[in-house]
Structure 1
């Protein structure tokens, strides 16, 4: 027997095992039960005639399961009505219970999770020790699956608590990276970028991925954007501030509330091309009232994402930001030059500005000038910096750009 572990969840595996065992043993009902606070809770049930369903529960002491675990009942009974202890349980006659097999589900730490059980409404004298060994073998598989699932749940809980703590304590700060105009070599605006102070120390994309995994992506994005947008009070009114949002968060009420009273003519909303958009019509409709109020739209990471320029074509952004994978070594790569040139031509035709991200060398800068890029951002012209340092750059010409003008 082989299970496709990539395609099936732990629950699906357990249901499959339960069905195989119940069918092989010719039982009417099979189930996996968990012991919780003095109760037996049915987690998985198999059998068309089952009198119980997943989620049902009852007192543990009133069950066969407890008596099997503590030794008052044997793991195999070909006819429960022949056992005096079983007859003290009302279900024995009420269901009735004929043949019954049950083994404990023991986790690696020795703890009993519950039991793996099968029973039929009629006695079955053909059941023997070999059948019990089969049940035990499959119970061991189920116990391993349960252990893996409990570990996964524990890890997910730890991740959620970590993200909740980061948000509650604002265990992050914002850095601002300058975006320079090539025509006058001065700052056109800044992109706000998240940096996290909490452990484990890792890149921002890992924090956002974990937040999405535990259902807190929206909350983390909103918290960071709220912090970043405080810089609008410090920058002159002609300096733009870019903030990053996923399409999913843009569709939320939290996003609408955050942007309700902002001076949107000073804000650039960057939508990453890496993020999938379920419905472009809905996203465009969502953004429309904000764009009427002056919000500028940028498509981030153009040329890198799986969306294959759908963001650019369907959202009609004011700015197209070339991903660093496209600008890296563009001076030595004719293919990159051709694609950047085509995007620049497209931008001019659509009335969009072209910003090159990740510019690190003077040779890359020269190549980007030649293909029609109008703004640049990268370590060559300025690393992400604290707000106080960013304010000092406003109105000052870039030394890196002056050298190449």
Structure 2
């Protein structure tokens, strides 16, 4: 086996890896731990490195890194804990550093020693903060290695602590994920939300052009609707929650005057699911407007456009929400050719005193005129804002000045 330097003054190559991985909050735990195993195995010159978990009297191989041609350990496979090196290292029947297992009487009691066979072996427990033993961090080779020393063991312990932190973070994320899914499913199963409606005014003809349906949640924790939909997205239930809100809002359409339409919010993922068309089927499309709510770039504009074509042909209005809030909304406008462009509240707020906001709004008025789109300003809260919007040619508006979200008028 290749000799390894043991100069105590040499910078340890795995220290930098540990620090780098510990800071990579976006990296998956699985990817990080595989990199750690690979670094340990190659640094020690071993054939196999693995992380095991102890569960129900069995040893489960959770993460494995192997040299080509080495004995194969299947990730997820398990064997009896009592018949493993791991258990016997943890309880002290085997030493943590074994130079040659075939020369270790206690190791010869285990069939794997001669079946694999096992030569050099290092193993340290992975201890969690609550004092429990998760499992072990191990590496082995079929050849013996007399150079293994206390420095190697110390390095393994450092990385076992690092692995423990990563596993605990993973467990915490999984617990949060499970709790989030339970909250969203409870909201869906018991319909712990209701719909309020905010009027959208035609400033020229001076009448209510439509109502936007907005969700309000009556579940813990108390928070805004955006947070509920964001959490639903993290557990793969945003489409279900949006469809449930749309379905409930549609029940109110008969209460809205024939001269007004109902505006509903949906993310691109919900539109691409193809299920909105089924919900809209019993209702006249020319009484409905669909607002695309998405602040990120859409990957499949062609699919999104196609999903809307038939409904738009039947009279459905399409609106792009939050124009002016970022680059993504402008891309949506260019790719989807909406009927209505909704100016974000960040643009309308203080537009009577902010020349930059006014200039951008004027540009959007010109764009809308050239493309045949309508323009609707959101978040109008003062008479001065309303007057400026009317002066620059914005025809429709909504906001607290004109009407707060609430029940439909009797």
- 1:60 counterpart = 2:81: yes
Aligned equivalent of 2:376:
355
1:103-134, Cα deviation, whole Å (9 max, x unpaired)? 11110001111110011102222323332222
Aligned equivalent of 1:130:
151
Partner SS state of residue 92, structure 1: helix
Contact 2:274 2:307 in 1 (8 A): no
CA distance in 1 between counterparts of 2:274 and 2:402 reads: 37
- 1:46 counterpart = 2:65: yes
CA distance in 1 between counterparts of 2:293 and 2:33 reads: 39
CA distance in 1 between counterparts of 2:154 and 2:294 reads: 55
Aligned equivalent of 2:219:
198
Aligned equivalent of 1:391:
409
Partner SS state of residue 384, structure 1: coil
Partner SS state of residue 330, structure 1: coil
| Greater mean deviation of Cα atoms: 372-381 or 176-185 | 176-185
- 1:106 counterpart = 2:106: no
Q: How does 1:3-42 map to 2 (within 5 A)?
A: 3-4=20-21, 5-6=23-24, 8-42=27-61
Offset of residue 154 of structure 1:
1.2
Q: How does 1:329-348 map to 2 (within 5 A)?
A: 329-348=350-369
CA distance in 2 between counterparts of 1:53 and 1:215 reads: 30
CA distance in 2 between counterparts of 1:275 and 1:261 reads: 31
Which among 217, 220, 230 is matched to residue 241 of structure 2?
A: 220
Contact 1:247 1:275 in 2 (8 A): no
CA distance in 2 between counterparts of 1:316 and 1:139 reads: 56
Offset of residue 375 of structure 1:
1.0
What RMSD over aligned residues (CA atoms) do the two structures have, in Å? 1.6
How many residue pairs match? The answer is 389
CA distance in 1 between counterparts of 2:329 and 2:291 reads: 17
- 1:90 counterpart = 2:107: no
CA distance in 2 between counterparts of 1:155 and 1:101 reads: 34
Which among 287, 294, 297 is matched to residue 318 of structure 2?
A: 297
Offset of residue 151 of structure 1:
1.2
Q: Quick one: higher RCO (CA 8 Å, sep 6+), 1 or 2? A: 1
- 1:233 counterpart = 2:254: yes
Unaligned runs of 5+ in 2: 1-14
CA distance in 1 between counterparts of 2:335 and 2:159 reads: 53
Aligned equivalent of 1:258:
279
- The runs of 4+ residues in structure 1 deviating greater than 4 Å are none
Contact 1:176 1:191 in 2 (8 A): yes
1:86-110, Cα deviation, whole Å (9 max, x unpaired)? 2222211111011111111110001
> Normalised by the size of structure 2, how large is the TM-score?
0.91
Offset of residue 165 of structure 1:
1.1
Partner SS state of residue 177, structure 1: strand
1:332-369, Cα deviation, whole Å (9 max, x unpaired)? 12222222222222222322221111010011111011
| Greater mean deviation of Cα atoms: 366-375 or 81-90 | 81-90
CA distance in 2 between counterparts of 1:130 and 1:98 reads: 19
Contact 1:273 1:309 in 2 (8 A): no
Partner SS state of residue 391, structure 1: coil
Contact 2:202 2:209 in 1 (8 A): yes
Contact 1:273 1:302 in 2 (8 A): no
